């Protein structure tokens, strides 16, 4: 199937299922406005001075490259340049690492006053920063300095794959022999939800010319990796996984348990669905999205707030982010079809944004699902 990159057409799945166009657009706008400008129990965007702002992870009370890059992506999709520039300036002012082995990366966590909580990066932040910056360049045009968005994006990608080479001390964010993204730079395993082949396809067109072949290979390697990381019967992936796709059971004394379908992992099916929407290269993506929806709608219809092993075994724990589960199950309808897709859309449409301490992660995944399913998550 030709994807939106080739056709320029973005499905409005809500409209396909009969929801009114005006109400769909209202919900998209309302979701963004609530996250950025709602009351204290709703928003997590905070302006600082005349020209900066940060996104707070309300569950951990810090600022993360994940959230800052998500906020920038939301802003470029919603055509909100002022908020985008505020977030990017805060990121470059406080999160940018000036020296040492992680020079030119971004500290993955900072306090809300800008002081660094970490000395190293998290690769999912860097790849989202780069993509958001490229889109900003195409949607608004480049400025100067840190606001020459395309130059900043290319610089990020250059560091991600060339560290460890002469003149580039440190560790790269990709296992460059496998073309697979790492969980963190100094670990030899991955996180399935970090794999964004639909981004890498675009990096292969817009990154430094000498690196474009690497990104083409990375797109194909990540698609192949997701086949391994998603269970063939349930569609579920682990939070962390080995390079052969098996759940990562080690390092629990450092990171805790991550061999199950839990918070990070929810993003995996959303990313698969977005790759299908934009590029339509891998029909397996339709199949696996359908299997995940079947798992939830037919086999575990009463346990959407459950925690599972990738084979579908229900554990005693409960999801920390149940609204995120509903959001990504709906976003899977970009690839899946049938009654389960319709049911997942219905559940999402009828679910409000989350309030309270844990709202940050749930509501970002909610916003991205709302954008994607309404035809508003686009390539620029």
Concerning whether 211 is annotated as a catalytic residue, the answer is: no
User: Which residue from 54, 52, 77 is spatially nearest to 67, judged by alpha carbons?
Assistant: 54
Which ranges of the chain would DSSP assign to H, the alpha helix? 4-7, 13-16, 21-37, 65-77, 81-90, 123-140, 149-162, 197-206, 212-229, 252-255, 266-278, 284-294, 322-331, 339-349, 359-373
Largest CA distance in the chain: 57
Find the distance separating the first CA and the last CA of the chain, reported in whole Å: 20
- What pairs with residue 175 in β-bridges? 180
Locus of tokens 């609204």: 323
Dihedrals phi, psi of 243, to nearest 5 degrees: -70, -10
Please name the residues in contact with 162: beta carbons below 8 A apart, sequence gap of 6 or more: 168, 172
> In the Cβ-directed half-sphere of 30, how many Cα atoms lie within 13 Å?
8
SS3 299: helix
Locus of tokens 């360049």: 137
- CA separation for the pair 248, 47 (Å, rounded): 38
Concerning whether 66 is annotated as a catalytic residue, the answer is: yes
- What pairs with residue 116 in β-bridges? 110
Length of the chain equals 380
Q: How far is CA 244 from the centre of its chain?
A: 22
Catalytic residue among 264, 331, 343, 362: 264
Catalytic residue among 57, 66, 152, 362: 66
Catalytic residues: 66, 264
């Amino acid at each position: 199937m030709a994807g939106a990159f080739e056709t320029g057409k973005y499905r409005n799945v809500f409209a396909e299922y009969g929801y009114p166009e005006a109400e769909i657009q209202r919900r998209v706008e309302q979701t963004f406005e609530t996250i950025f400008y709602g009351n204290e129990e709703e928003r997590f965007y905070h302006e600082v001075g005349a020209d900066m702002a940060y996104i707070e992870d309300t569950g951990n009370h810090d600022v993360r490259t994940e959230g800052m890059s998500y906020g920038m992506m939301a802003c470029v999709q919603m055509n909100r340049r002022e908020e985008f520039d505020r977030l990017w300036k805060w990121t470059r002012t406080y999160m940018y690492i000036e020296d040492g082995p992680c020079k030119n990366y971004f500290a993955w966590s900072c306090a809300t006053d800008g002081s660094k909580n970490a000395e190293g990066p998290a690769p999912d932040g860097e790849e989202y920063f780069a993509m958001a910056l490229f889109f900003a360049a195409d949607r608004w045009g480049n400025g100067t300095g840190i606001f020459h968005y395309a130059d900043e994006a290319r610089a990020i990608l250059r560091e991600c794959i060339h560290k460890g080479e002469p003149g580039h001390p440190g560790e790269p964010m990709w296992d460059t022999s496998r073309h697979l993204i790492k969980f963190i730079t100094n670990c030899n395993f991955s996180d399935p939800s970090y794999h964004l082949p639909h981004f890498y396809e675009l990096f292969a067109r817009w990154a430094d010319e000498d690196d474009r072949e690497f990104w083409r290979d990375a797109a194909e390697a990540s698609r192949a990796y997701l086949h391994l990381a998603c269970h063939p019967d349930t569609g579920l992936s682990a939070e962390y996984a080995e390079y052969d796709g098996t759940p990562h059971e080690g390092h629990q004394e450092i990171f805790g348990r991550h061999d199950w379908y839990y918070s990070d992992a929810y993003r995996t099916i959303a990313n698969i669905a977005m790759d299908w929407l934009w590029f339509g290269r891998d029909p397996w993506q339709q199949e696996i999205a359908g299997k995940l929806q079947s798992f939830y709608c037919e086999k575990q219809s009463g346990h959407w707030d459950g925690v599972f092993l990738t084979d579908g075994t229900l554990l005693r724990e409960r999801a920390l982010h149940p609204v995120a589960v509903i959001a990504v199950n709906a976003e899977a309808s970009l690839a899946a079809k049938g009654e389960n897709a319709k049911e997942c859309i219905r559940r999402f449409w009828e679910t409000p944004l989350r309030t309270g301490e844990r709202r940050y992660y749930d509501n970002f995944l909610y916003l991205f699902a709302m954008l994607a399913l309404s035809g508003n998550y686009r390539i620029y």
